[in-house]
Amino acid sequence: MGLILLFGVFFFSLIAGVPVAFALGIATVLTFVYEGLPLFVAFQRIMSGISVFSLLAIPFFIFAGELMLQGGIAVRLVRLASAAVGNIRGGLGVVNVASSMLFGGISGSAVADTSALGSIMIPVMKEKKYDADYAVNVTVTSSIAGVVIPPSHNMILYAVAAGGVSVSSLFIAGVVPGILMCVCLALAAYLVAVRRGYASEAFPGWQVLAISFVVAIPGLLTAVIIVGGVLSGVMTVTESGAFGAIYAIVVTALVYRELTWERFITAVLASVRTTSLVMMLVATATAFAYLLTLYRVPDTLAASITSISDNPLIILLLINVVLLLLGMIMDMAALILICTPIFLPLARDIGMDPIQFGIIIMMNLGLGLCTPPVGACLFVGCVVGGVRMDHVVRTIWPFYLAIIASLLLVTYVPAISMFLPNLMR
Amino acid sequence: MVEASKDSLTDSAGSWPAVRHIIELVVSACMLVAGTMLVVLIGTMGWLVFGRYALNDTPTWVEQLSLVLVVWITFLGGAACVWRKSHLGVDFVRDALSFTMQIVLRLIASALMAAFGVCMAWQGGLLASGTWARRIPMLEISEGWRAVPMVISGGLIALFAIFELASLVNHLLAVRSRNIGD
């Protein structure tokens, strides 16, 4: 009965329009009252949920991403991608994907990627006679690179929710799947471009390419510092996040000279907003997850799924389908925190490494950011592109297929995600 | 229930402009304090990295300060985002329902938020008073300071939700009396 109350209140609150973070909190509090548990414990859990040292990296990553938006790093990355791959048929679509790979790899946020690159790429693509829906499709779906390619603050959330999985292993494990997904998306962008008859850009020459690369290097180094600091073991993830944020200030203010005082304040306030949204979710989801464990939800769910089939391939498929459906209606951060304790034990039981499962969660829930009815990246992309969502969704399926194909490869071929972490071990 | 258009739901945002203005100032103050704390957080953590690797003298107080700061940033920013409606939600189901159902659900949502805010402030107060005598290691300030933002945030969330609730009820009553007058 308590479990029904927990989920009943949660879903009812969501439908009533209560934000996800508070719906989790309200459901937890009412269930605590119903079960006669001391309410004090619920709020202690809420407090302890965010008092975790490794979570401190999240505001730093978010701030570094905001600085890139405000400080001109994104524009330089687009120029580099354009010089490198613009001459391919439907070149701006492929440039868009390549830019996302570079930008997402630094900012670690899919929404920041959509907003930053969308505002640069979509107008240019429309000007070059690309259809607006195509421009939005490519921008939105390629932004998932931000959550798969390191650094990614969502990986830190997963590491905490999974009970101490190595962040550095997750970071390195995301590289190959992230690149694979971008290659699949670039292929989809190319095929759609050929079908629609989009032209290619002229190759600007090796000299322009070299100059674009040199100019982009200071921005690219932000990712190298953050990821390199963690992977080398020299710095903790929090320290490297802080160092990366300070480096981003130096680059945007002193090297690129585009970070004005007003832009700095905008970046700070935007970071406070995003940080508090994510951390409030972490806080209440921690208390919610406490009740899930108390009710032995992971065990019950594992038993239900294995009663359908004990074939690991089918179980993985079922997990993926459930995550995809949940990702369509709920936010990524909340789902990472709720679903990890539920599905990870099941994945472990069938012999999957928690690192590989983490990458599957990133890709799967990342896709949820691009699907209706609740897709943050899809919303942002449609607003930036000035296109209606139903118009975009009608033609987005080749890009969904590209992501699902790469997701299935990562799910069923462990080496794709585990090759680099195993090499490190 | 009430003869009013869907657009009129947003008209409730026009209720009591003076109170609304004061709340806006409070919310801006919250964002300003949280923003300053974020800059301090980044600066001190940068100092920790510099101290550890350049000076070979780790300022250990930074870790404790950072954990306190992040709690303050979360709860102050979280309350401000409630007022600015920035929190992530699932509105599409409610928006697809009939107008009357939308009003009922809005009232329920505001009431639930208000109740949660009161609960958070109350329990945060208990946490703060219960830990006030203890000291945070390295910082030598009361452990209760960690829970103080929960009290402030809970109080503000309750205030914002009650104001929304009152604005909506006030607006509905105004529309109803106008309809009766017609």
Q: A236-293: per-residue pLDDT in tens?
A: 888 888 888 899 899 999 998 889 999 999 999 999 998 998 899 889 988 988 898 8
User: Is A142 within 8 Å of A182 (Cβ atoms)?
Assistant: yes
Indicate the helix (H) or strand (E) that contains A170.
Answer: helix A167-173
What rounded mean pLDDT belongs to chain A? 87
* Number of other residues whose CB lies within 10 A of the CB of residue B155: 18
CA distance B62 to chain A (A): 11
Q: Which residue of B has its CA nearest to A11?
A: B90
Paired residues of B142 in beta bridges: B135
Is residue A99 pLDDT above 60, yes or no? yes
The letter for the amino acid at B50 is F
**A29 → closest Cβ in B35, B49, B119:** B119
Q: Between A332-349 and A153-161, two packed helices, what is the crossing angle to 10 degrees?
A: 50
pLDDT at A177: 96
- Provide, rounded to the nearest whole percent, the portion of chain B with pLDDT above 90: 61
Q: Determine the average pLDDT of the residues in A411-415.
A: 96
Contact A47 B67 (CB under 8 A): no
Tell me what percent of the residues of chain A surpass a pLDDT of 70: 99
Percent of chain A surpassing pLDDT 90 = 39
Q: Where are the alpha helices (DSSP H) in chain B?
A: 8-11, 17-50, 61-83, 92-96, 99-131, 148-181
Q: What is the pLDDT of chain B when averaged over all its residues?
A: 88
Would you call B73 and A276 a contact, using CB atoms and an 8 Å cutoff?
A: yes
Q: Would you give the end-to-end CA distance of chain B in angstroms?
A: 16
Q: Is B76 in contact with A276 (Cβ distance < 8 A)? A: yes
Q: Do A272 and B34 make contact, defined as CB atoms within 8 angstroms?
A: yes
Q: Which pLDDT score, from 0 to 100, does residue A114 have?
A: 82
Structure tokens at A40: 């004090």
Q: Is the pLDDT of residue A97 over 70?
A: yes
* Cβ contacts of A243 within 8 Å, gap of 6 or more: A225, A226, A229, A235, B46, B49
ipTM of this complex prediction, to 2 decimal places:
0.91
Determine whether A107 is exposed, middle or buried from the number of CB atoms within 10 Å of its CB (0-12, 13-18, 19+): buried
Contact residues on chain A for B88, CB-CB shorter than 8 A: 19-21, 277, 281, 331, 334, 376
Region A391-404: what's the mean pLDDT? 93
Does the pLDDT of residue A214 top 70, yes or no?
yes
Stretch among A407-421, B10-24, B52-66 having the lowest mean pLDDT: B10-24
Burial of A390 (C-beta count, 10 Å sphere; 0-12/13-18/19+): exposed
Distance (Å, rounded) from C-alpha B156 to C-alpha B150? 10
Mean pLDDT to the nearest integer, B121-142: 92
Cα–Cα distance list, B167 to B15, B24, B78, B172 (Å): 6, 15, 22, 9
CA–CA gap between residue A393 and residue B35 (Å, rounded)? 37
Percent of chain B with pLDDT over 70: 92
Subunit contact A334:B88, Cβ cutoff 8 A: yes
CA distance A266 to A168: 31
- Please give the average per-residue pLDDT across A159-176, as a whole number: 90
Q: Once rounded to an integer, what is the mean pLDDT over residues A51-66?
A: 85
For A168, A202, A347, the CA distances from A304, given in Å and listed in that order, are: 33, 57, 14
Which tokens hold the place of A60? 């730093």
Query: How many CB contacts within 8 angstroms connect chain A with chain B?
Result: 170
DSSP A175: H
Instruction: Please list, in sequence order, all residues whose beta carbon lies within 8 angstroms of the beta carbon of residue A252, skipping any fewer than 6 positions away.
Output: A67, A68, A70, A71, A72, A73, A258, A259
A51:B146 CB<8 A: yes
What is the pLDDT at residue A380? 81
Average of pLDDT values for B86-105?
85
| Contact across the interface for A273 and B77, Cβ inside 8 Å | yes
Best probe of the B interface among A24, A249, A276, by most B CBs < 10 A, is A276
* Smallest Cα distance from B182 to chain A, Å: 32
Structure confidence at residue A13 as a pLDDT band (50, 70, 90): very high
Which residues of B fall within a CB distance of 8 Å from A51? 67, 70-71, 146
Residue range B46-82, pLDDT digits in tens: 899 889 888 888 888 999 999 999 999 999 999 999 9
| Angle at CA of residue A334, ends A332 and A340, nearest 5° | 90
What is the C-alpha separation between A101 and A388, in angstroms, rounded? 26
Cross-chain residue pair B49–A243, CB shorter than 8 Å: yes
- Would you list the DSSP string of A241-280? HHHHHHHHHHIIIIIS----HHHHHHHHHHHHHHHHHHHH
pLDDT given at position B13: 62
DSSP B9-48: HHHGGGS-HHHHHHHHHHHHHHHHHHHHHHHHHHHHHHHH
**Mean pLDDT on A57-76:** 84
**What does the block give as tokens for B131?**
């830990």
Instruction: Yes or no: say if A279 and A337 are a contact pair by the CB < 8 Å rule.
Output: no
Say if residue B28's pLDDT is above 50.
yes
- The terminus-to-terminus CA distance of chain A in angstroms comes to 46
Tell me which of B9, B27, B70, B150 to substitute to probe the interface with A (most A C-beta atoms closer than 10 Å).
B70
B81 has a chain A CB within 8 A of its CB: yes
Residue A425, burial from CB neighbour count under 10 angstroms (0-12, 13-18, 19+):
exposed
Which residues from A are below 8 Å from B75, CB to CB? 276, 280
pLDDT at B43 over 70: yes
Exposure pattern of A110-126 as b/e (b: 16+ CB <10 Å)?
bbbbbbbbbbbbbeebb
What is the distance between the alpha carbons of residues A409 and A180, in angstroms, rounded to a whole number?
9
- What pLDDT score does B49 carry? 86
